[in-house]
Chain A
Amino acid sequence: MSVGSATEADDSLQPAGQEAGHGWGVDPPPLGPLAYFTCLKGIVWREILRYLHQRERFLSALVRPLVWLFIFAAGFRQTLGISIIPPYQTYILYEVFITPGLIGMIQLFNAMQSSLSMVYDRETGAMRTLLVSPFPRSYLLLSKLVAGVSVSLLQVYVYLLVAYFWEIEPPLYGYLTVLPALILSGLMLGSMALFMSSIIRQLENFAGVMNFVIFPMFFASSALYPLWRIKESSVLLYQICLINPFTHAVELIRFALYGQVDWTSLAVVLVFTAAFLGGAIYAYNPSKGLIARRGGPGGS
């Protein structure tokens, strides 16, 4: 994180109409919509700047799915192409099939990394700075979430651009129609990660949880193989995949890339987003939540 960007972001958390350094006083003026917007903008911009300034993170976020695309998918190139699965209207190469799964992976990793920064902020005390803000805690959390989603959108579109030259060529309108699906899936995965970050005390624990969450979620889904293939091997695994919200995020993205809506996946993603977000807001509530029980943001 660059110091400059953080300072800029911290300044932007000041409500509109107040000068920096005045403090909140006894009777702070009511916070208008503009103040809320400034707050959101500050948090989102801070996150994006932080992402762009961390070149390693930018590269690793891009390299990870591209390694899967260029190497893993090449090895399995001939495994598909034997059946036409909606939303595809003809036979497709494996690279085309796993692209929505890899987009989901980008968002999953990004969500985890974003909430990892919450744990980091909590450990370093940086979060306290954020939490003295007069805005409701839930709004700050939501802003943090939107910031994470914005970064993931950036990553996904860069990935799609590179993939285009690898013959992953969804229809042009698909790049637009996939946007709402990406926002929704990003919100679901982000709020899930946020909820998890509220439970985790230390940074070290978080790495372990990533392994327990990311890999099972990714592999037990339709990201790498169509569900009918999984059903052929194991009905139990198929059912696990079906209740895995990540499967539905991937399917939502898959259909949206071709201008279609998978209504079941949409409903599942909406429900899980609401549940995880509710859980995260509750968990981060200073008077009731899990953080309060552990004695504040430091978690000590």
Chain B
Amino acid sequence: MRFKVGSSSTLGVCVALMVSTPAALADTAFVTNEKDNTVSVIDTEKLEVIKTFKVGQRPRGIILSKDGKWLIICASDDNIVQIYDSRTYEFIKSLPSGPDPELLILHPSGNPLYIANEDDNLVTVVDIKQGKILTDIPVGVEPEGMGMSPDGKVLVNTSETTNMAHFISTVTNKTFDNVLVDSRPRVAIFNHSGSQLWVSSEVGGTVTVINPADRKIVGKINFKIPGITREAIQPVGVRITKDDKKAYVALGPANRVAIVNTETLKVEKYLLVGQRVWQLAFTPNDKLLFTTNGTSNDVSIIDVDRQKVIKSIRTGRYPWGVVVAPF
């Protein structure tokens, strides 16, 4: 939280601390707007868009560099990855990728960058310092989801048409196992201990939980929302809290985010958000969760402790990806 201390008394500061919002420290959320070719910058304390800046065409996946200085964005229709300064929003450089890059993930060491190119069935490995392609890893058709194990040894890519989660060694850059999941897998994410891998299947309407050690499926989560057809339930974005107790799953046109107990794999609650919710991002302290709502052109903000949607704020058209920076 940003305090204007100035000449205010200690008492004033104390009062301000007492009434502070769940986001005890102000962070900044960045949202890519797929149709506007812009990024909306959101102050997580005021919950307002404070700036919108132009980026490449059809921005989708967005992440932060390890030091937080760079915003790394897939400009899908430009067939490149762009880097912007996360504080000044100035363009720094482009990185090469394959055609139609969609999602990307950094190695925990901060380099290299792994990019899923939707159109050439490859995962491109790029050195972000030198700005050059190190190698391409063949995967299934329409690669998209990118998950990295906490120790950085295993990369998991999902291919939307092959319906598989491909396990890739980051040492050899080769696929060493494949797991068949339900139709159109979109997102893969490891929990923080590395004991579970969650893969969402958009058309299958399920989330598959895999044990990364033996690549066996340990559970499958189905979603049932009264009054919503099964076809409208399309899981995409998945995020897991730092304590690994709860997973949040964006359910696309069902306009809901499901809260799932990671131990029982049961849905505990559905939260109503905007239309066609796809990607999610926690603030660094796990207090707030941002959801991008593609067709209602807004972002909903969930108070994680209270499990309540506290606000929805307008962004550009077709908000797609979201990342939160700790400043």
Contacts and interface: CB of A to CB of B under 8 A. Distances in A.
Contacts of A84: 298, 312
Given A81-B255, A82-B275, A91 B309 contact: yes
Task: Pick the most buried of A78, A92, A93: most chain B CB atoms within 10 A of its CB.
Answer: A78
Given A82-B275, A90-B273, A90-B300, A77 B227 contact: yes
A81 B272 contact: yes
Nearest to A96: B272
Nearest to A77: B227
Interface in B271-306: 272-275, 296, 298, 300-301
Contacts of B301: 90
B228 A93 contact: no
A81 B276 CA distance: 12
A82 B255 CA distance: 10
Contacts of A89: 310-312
A78 B254 CA distance: 10
Interface in A73-95: 77-78, 81-82, 84, 89-93
A91 B300 contact: yes
A92 B298 CA distance: 15
A92 B228 contact: no
Given A81-B255, A84-B312, A91 B273 contact: yes
Contact of A93 (B272, B274, B296): B272
Interface string A48-78: 0000000000000000000000000000011
Interface string A78-120: 1001101000011111000000000000000000000000000
B226 interface: yes
B266 to A, nearest CB: 19
Contacts of A82: 275, 296
Contacts of B273: 90-91
A81 B272 CA distance: 8
The secondary-structure label for the interface of chain A is loop
A91 B296 CA distance: 11
Contacts of B310: 89-90
A77 B226 CA distance: 9
A259 B57 CA distance: 42
A78 B226 CA distance: 10
Nearest to B275: A82
Given A91-B273, A93-B272, A78 B311 contact: no
A92 B312 contact: no
B205 to A, nearest CB: 18
Contact of A91 (B226, B227, B228, B274): B274
Nearest to B311: A89
A164 to B, nearest CB: 13
A82 B293 CA distance: 12
B58 to A, nearest CB: 26
A90 B293 CA distance: 12
Interface in B108-151: none
Task: Pick the most buried of A81, A84, A89, A91: most chain B CB atoms within 10 A of its CB.
Answer: A91
Interface of A: 77-78, 81-82, 84, 89-93, 169
6 contacts: A77-B226, A82-B296, A89-B311, A90-B310, A90-B312, A91-B309
Given A90-B309, A91-B300, 6 more contacts: A78-B227, A78-B228, A81-B255, A91-B255, A91-B274, A92-B272
- The 10 A-B residue pairs whose C-beta atoms are closest, nearest first, are A90-B312, A89-B311, A90-B309, A91-B272, A78-B227, A77-B227, A90-B311, A81-B272, A84-B312, A90-B300
